[in-house]
Chain A
């Protein structure tokens, strides 16, 4: 394979991988503070894109995106306050079903508001045919935007959790909620914040991806399944592992097309996941100890 083709495959793999990783990080942020896997995660990505597209009719692009991210974040927070906050130690299955139900509702609401048609934000630089050359491969500048913005999110988040007070409090919640409450941390509000943060970064991803992938009311479940795959592949709750796992999945998917017909692409990535689960049930990077603690 020539360097040009290799680069071409690699870049589309990385673009997708990093998107999956962002969705997976969204899953993990909520999981860490609440123990809930939020199956409506993909809908945040859709909402971010859709809001930005609608707002862009009235304001310049950066403002529209910013506002869309804030709106989606607020929706995320409201979901926690209305549906999750007052539940008394719900079972895993109950939460899976509630979040699946929420994802259906958000999707149907989006269908009602925006219709079934395909929309997209304009390209941030140039248009649909612009491309830049890297090692002979032609890459859309939007791909660089996606990679750039998502990398900033990943780095920013890890700094936030490491060095800010709020971030440390959230980590404390993740480690042991009761202990965190005893230390005087308001765990309730931390949980709400985790939903807002998770929805917000989903929305950012939804905006930067929109020109490449388009936004439609029902893109959520597909993304959620891929994101969930990455979460499991990386090990539940481990955001940095999710980035590695996401990139791995994206790149494998991208290169798999050389040998496998495209129609079977998803079969390949899910089959890999199943094999990993069977051999290393705690994920590629997770520890077996935490996996044992999972229960219904």
Chain B
């Protein structure tokens, strides 16, 4: 992969990520990295959803559901103590294969849980299965029907998390252990591991971005854009529209679930608010503000808005500020903030080609 025009933004992003870290280290403000790390994981959801909405043209008002599936499955598996079941044959078998770990919590209780790697893979697997099962019928729908179906899916996941004891009901799950990715690399909220976590999170965002950009510019991407333009025409060209849409749906669900897994380990817990309809609406809105089929636009808006919101900058007016931005953007800049007439000029002149 040579340095073509397409790769310049990616390199810029890498540079920016490093520069931000260096600046915070230099000015003794590395506490900003906490929210920047959380923001990165939400951005991963947004990249995936942007792929689905902007390129495959499919709305999803239930993406927080996939995030929650990832987070909850991983959290439940790594926290529920299996010590009472250790003589159960299945548990014994799992224990022998090294999928379980025996440890102590910080209060000295003995606990036997699934190791985070296995839990993470299980979470992704569950997500893929659910995304296939849901995606197949849902993606046949269009317009408001599609909106309702995905919204409904999100509500079901939310209610399920709220009603099920295994998932902690309204309290959610706390005490999720750190996730040892590789020797020396651990996803956890430890104050000491802040910088490495920042790089893990943004590394994932970069990977997601590169993957998405390549997908968009590949044969698949062209097919997707053809579908977005006109499904009938695409079908006439021999593109299996429904299959491409389904794959994109599953990929974007996996992005969301992976973000859920990582953020849950980073935060040490997850609560039902992560699955709420408002969260899904937020993701969709950020993509709309970023300009629907612009991965970079969505990423920018996602980082800015999530960062400000997580730092509590809007206080009790978080919802109001967000609503106002939504309405204003959709009224005056329906193609996204990067396509405002003024910015558009600059963008055309100096910026990279539109993806």
- A295 with B156: CB separation less than 8 A: no
Enumerate chain B residues within 8 angstroms of A292, measured Cβ to Cβ.
142
Interfacial residues of chain A within 212-253, with CB under 8 A of chain B in the complex: 221, 225, 228-229, 232, 236
Per-residue interface assignment for chain B, residues 305 to 334, with 1 indicating a CB less than 8 Å from any chain A CB and 0 otherwise: 000000000000101101111110011001
Write out the residue numbers on chain B whose beta carbons fall within 8 Å of the beta carbon of A154: none
A274 contacts across to B, CB distance below 8 A: 149, 152-153, 156
The reply to whether A102 and B149 contact each other, CB–CB distance below 8 Å, is no
Q: Given A93-B59, A225-B151, A225-B277, are A83 and B331 also a contact pair (CB < 8 Å)?
A: yes
B166, chain A: closest CB distance, angstroms: 13
Taking the nearest CB of chain A, how far is it from the CB of B68, in angstroms? 14
Q: Which residue of A lies closest to B134 (CB)?
A: A274
Asked if A102 meets B141 with Cβ closer than 8 Å, knowing A97-B288, A277-B149, the reply is no
Least CB separation from A275: chain B residue: B137
Assess whether A277 is in contact with B326, with CB atoms less than 8 Å apart.
no
Known contacts being A229-B152, A264-B159, A270-B152, is A94 close to B288, with CB within 8 Å?
Answer: yes
Inter-chain CA distance A229–B153, complex, in Å, is 12
Identify the stretch in A103-111, A124-132, A170-178 within 8 Å (CB) of chain B at 4 or more residues: A103-111
| Chain A residue nearest to B320 in the complex (CB) | A108
Contact call B159/A232, Cβ cutoff below 8 A: no
Q: Are B148 and A294 in contact (CB under 8 A)?
A: no
**Residue A87 is within 8 A (CB to CB) of chain B in the complex:** yes
B140 part of interface (Cβ distance < 8 Å) = yes
CB of B117 closer than 8 Å to a CB of A? no
Taking a contact as CB atoms under 8 Å apart, the answer to whether B153 and A295 are in contact is: no
Does B141 lie within 8 Å of A277, measured CB to CB?
yes
Q: Could you tell me if A267 and B59 are in contact, using CB atoms closer than 8 angstroms?
A: no
The contact of B137 among A90, A228, A278, by CB within 8 Å, is: A278
Query: Of B145, B151, B153, which is in contact with the most chain A CB atoms at under 10 Å from its CB?
Result: B145
Among A73-110, those with CB < 8 Å from B are 83, 87, 90-94, 96-98, 100-105, 107-109
* Pair B142/A295 contact, Cβ less than 8 Å: yes
Closest B residue by C-beta to A277:
B149
B148 in contact with A273 (CB, 8 Å): yes
- A254-286 at interface with B (beta carbon < 8 Å): 261, 263-264, 266-267, 270-271, 273-274, 277-278, 281-282
Q: Is the CB of A104 within 8 A of B142?
A: no
**Nearest residue, chain A, Cβ from B285:** A97
Q: Which residues of A contact B330 (CB under 8 A)?
A: 94, 97-98, 101
Given A97-B285, A100-B281, A264-B163 contact (CB < 8 Å): yes
Nearest B residue (CB) for A283: B145
Q: Residue B155 at the A interface, CB < 8 A?
A: yes
Knowing A100-B285, A261-B163, A267-B156 touch, does A232 contact B148 (C-beta < 8 A)?
yes
Q: Is the interface of A mostly helix, strand, loop or mixed?
A: helix
Tell yes or no: B160 within 8 A of A by CB. yes
Interface centre among B137, B155, B285 (most CB of A within 10 A): B155
Minimum CB distance partner of B151 in chain A = A225
For residue A165, CB closer than 8 A to chain B, the reply is: no
As a 0/1 sequence over residues 114 to 140 of chain B, the CB contacts with chain A under 8 angstroms (1 = contact) are: 000000000000000000000001101
**Is B284 interfacial (CB 8 A cutoff)?**
yes
Nearest CB on B from A138, distance (A): 29
Given contacts A94-B334, A97-B285, contact A221 B277 (CB under 8 A): yes
- The minimal Cβ–Cβ distance linking B283 to chain A, given in whole angstroms, is 12
State which residues 26-47 of A face B: CB under 8 Å.
37
Residues of A within 8 A of B160 (CB): 264, 267
In whole angstroms, how far apart are the Cα atoms of A101 and B148 in the complex?
17
CB of B9, distance to nearest CB on chain A (Å): 25
Would you call B323 and A108 a contact (CB within 8 A)?
Answer: yes
- Is B143 interfacial (CB 8 A cutoff)? yes
Please list 29 pairs of residues, one from A and one from B, whose beta carbons are closer than 8 Å in the complex, sorted by A's number: A37-B147, A83-B331, A87-B331, A96-B147, A97-B284, A97-B288, A98-B326, A101-B327, A104-B319, A104-B320, A104-B322, A108-B320, A225-B151, A225-B277, A228-B148, A232-B144, A236-B145, A263-B159, A264-B160, A267-B156, A270-B156, A270-B159, A274-B153, A277-B138, A277-B152, A278-B137, A278-B140, A294-B144, A296-B59
Query: Given A94-B288, A266-B159, A277-B141, list of 19 further CB < 8 A pairs?
Result: A92-B143, A93-B288, A97-B284, A98-B331, A101-B285, A101-B323, A101-B326, A105-B327, A107-B323, A221-B277, A232-B145, A267-B156, A267-B160, A270-B155, A273-B148, A277-B149, A278-B137, A278-B138, A278-B140
Binding site for A on B (CB under 8 A): 57, 59, 137-138, 140-145, 147-149, 151-153, 155-156, 159-160, 162-163, 277-278, 281, 284-285, 288, 292, 317, 319-320, 322-327, 330-331, 334
7 cross-chain pairs, A with B, having the tightest CB-CB distances, nearest first: A294-B143, A104-B323, A101-B326, A263-B163, A108-B320, A101-B327, A278-B137
